[in-house]
Structure 1
Amino acid sequence: MNLFDLKGKKAVITGGIHGLGMAMAEGLAQAGAELIITNNTLEPLETAIEYYKNKGYKATGYVFDVTDEVEAEKQVTAMETAHGQIDILVNNAGIIMRVMAIDMKVEDFRKVIDVDLVGVFIMSKLIAKGMIARKAGKIINICSMMSELGRDNVSAYASAKGGLKMLTRSLATEWARHNVQVNGIGPGYFATSQTEPIRVDGHPFNEFIISRTPAGRWGDPEDLAGTAVFLASDASNFVNGQVIYVDGGILATIGKPSNE
């Protein structure tokens, strides 16, 4: 299965310190990639790097804010100096603020857009320069169900993720001729530490997700690993500008089918 072999590849995963980001990073590492993990604070990054190393993966961490173009450029230069070419970029760093639109401060709206969309543009632009020069590279943007669907109290997040879908298509269009593939992954609802409080039996949202998902369950973080490896590998060399939704079938249906 050489198509999926990532041995010798260097993969940058922004915000790859827990949850879905960590699951995708582990998938890439299991396929042979060296991990370069970023975060905007040191302590959780150190904890994540220790975890990766204890699992036997080669991993290094860099602390910076992806929305700070000047600092991001310095850190990307440092990465390329220390590790050589960057073959894979996973734009995973993001935030969400659950506030009704009528109550949301404009400064908070802008902050979500800045992290979830502008930060992706900054990192993609910086790392794509080397990929374009080498005529090879894989960029994976972490989109969302909210790239397609609206929901109350996440107007900023949905706006950012909808924009990220279109940024993915635009960058793919610009860079395809340089053999750089830019695609997205749109996770559905996953069982992580963040969703644990609402996944208990009897919780209305837990019941809603299970009843709305044809698979009848929350996703396991490991369910994202295969898609990440596919989009990072030679297996996806002619896949470009696509968002693959890993959602248990939610977007395919208006409701979970009956048992009949």
Structure 2
Amino acid sequence: MADIFSVAGKVVCITGSSRGLGKAIARGFADRGAKVVISSWNLEELEATQREFQSQDLEVYAVEVDVSKRDRCQQLIDRTVEHYGAIDILICNAGIDIIKPAEQYEAEEWDKIIDINLRGYYFCAQFAAQQMLDRGAGSIIMTSSIAGAVGIPGLVPYAASKGGINQMVRTMAVEWAQKGVRVNAVAPGYIDNMMAGVEYDENNTYQQRVTRFTPMGRRGKVEEFLGAYIFLASDAASYITGEVLYVDGGYHAA
């Protein structure tokens, strides 16, 4: 009997995958026999991750990319297809955050967060979809956040970008539902690996919210988020599109 959760042999392109959650996702897919394209704007970190994976005999190809630039998004998808011959799964995961009161953001801070977290997701998905629609098959998964659905102080531009992702997922999903391309999102809660632009301080009021508002009382380990991405990428989710799957220790339910 075929394994409906299998991603073996699939070509998976993951943005923001040289560290943290993206790196854990990349390792998880590679461990399961997928052909993985990792990407990041940080070339030194990206090359180090590639060497690490290759030393463990994992199938991985690295592409430097700044997803805030449309032409670089196009290059990422083009190089994926040139190297592996196709793209089966795109995971938009690159992201940054700057935690500040709403009245204090500078225009360039707003623009940077939106350009990477939302605009970059759109263009990567657009170019990947063009390839997938021609073949009549594909899965696009975007990393959203609990901040896209509930109010969390200090996250105005980040929350706006994640709320935008949720609506982009739903809209793309209904446009492409009869053309073989599924579009979904995973919405993580608090992760034990901090993203770029965020510094951890256990005495900070923002950080103390984590255990207080998460029913499971802790941050999730990066490995605990992998299953959602594997599931949505696999044939096990063949009738699922336009969904936002919350992986948050109960935060969204509380």
TM-score bracket for this pair, using the shorter chain length: over 0.9
Query: Tell me, what secondary structure is at the counterpart of 1:181?
Result: strand
Q: Deviation of residue 77 (structure 1)? A: 1.7
Q: Structure 1: which 4+ aligned runs deviate by more than 4 Å?
A: 193-196, 202-207
Please say if residues 27 and 228 of structure 1, whose CA atoms lie closer than 8 Å, have aligned partners that are also in contact.
no
Structure 1: tracts of 5 or more residues without a match:
254-260
TM-score by length of 1: 0.91
Deviations 1:50-80 (A, max 9, x none): 1222332111111121122223223322221
Q: What residue identity is the alignment partner of 1:17?
A: S
Q: Distance in 2 between matches of 1:251 and 1:71?
A: 34
Q: State the superposition RMSD in angstroms.
A: 1.7
1:46 has 2:72 as partner: no
TM-score by length of 2: 0.93
Query: Tell me, what secondary structure is at the counterpart of 1:3?
Result: coil
Query: Tell me, what secondary structure is at the counterpart of 1:38?
Result: strand
Look up the match of 1:22: 23
1:75–1:218 CA distance, 2 compared to 1 (3 A): closer
Look up the match of 2:201: 198
1:175–1:111 CA distance, 2 compared to 1 (3 A): same
Q: What residue identity is the alignment partner of 2:220?
A: G
Query: Tell me, what secondary structure is at the counterpart of 1:183?
Result: strand
Look up the match of 2:151: 150
Please say if residues 143 and 185 of structure 1, whose CA atoms lie closer than 8 Å, have aligned partners that are also in contact.
yes
Summarize the alignment of residues 1-260 of structure 1 with structure 2, pairs less than 5 Å apart.
Answer: 2-193=3-194, 197-199=200-202, 207-253=208-254
Q: Distance in 2 between matches of 1:172 and 1:79?
A: 23
Q: What residue identity is the alignment partner of 1:242?
A: E
Q: Distance in 1 between matches of 2:104 and 2:147?
A: 20
Identity score, percent? 34
Deviates more, 1:70-79 or 1:227-236: 70-79
1:204–1:118 CA distance, 2 compared to 1 (3 A): closer
Q: Distance in 1 between matches of 2:99 and 2:250?
A: 24
Q: Deviation of residue 205 (structure 1)? A: 5.0
Q: What residue identity is the alignment partner of 1:38?
A: S
Q: Distance in 2 between matches of 1:222 and 1:95?
A: 20
Q: Deviation of residue 103 (structure 1)? A: 1.5
Structure exhibiting the larger radius of gyration computed from Cα positions? 1
Query: Tell me, what secondary structure is at the counterpart of 1:139?
Result: strand
Q: What residue identity is the alignment partner of 1:14?
A: T
Q: Deviation of residue 206 (structure 1)? A: 5.2
Paired residue total: 251
Deviates more, 1:179-188 or 1:212-221: 212-221
Q: Deviation of residue 203 (structure 1)? A: 6.4
Query: Tell me, what secondary structure is at the counterpart of 1:2?
Result: coil
Structure 2: tracts of 5 or more residues without a match:
none
Query: Tell me, what secondary structure is at the counterpart of 1:198?
Result: coil
Please say if residues 3 and 235 of structure 1, whose CA atoms lie closer than 8 Å, have aligned partners that are also in contact.
yes
Q: Deviation of residue 193 (structure 1)? A: 4.9
Q: Deviation of residue 207 (structure 1)? A: 4.6
Please say if residues 73 and 120 of structure 2, whose CA atoms lie closer than 8 Å, have aligned partners that are also in contact.
no
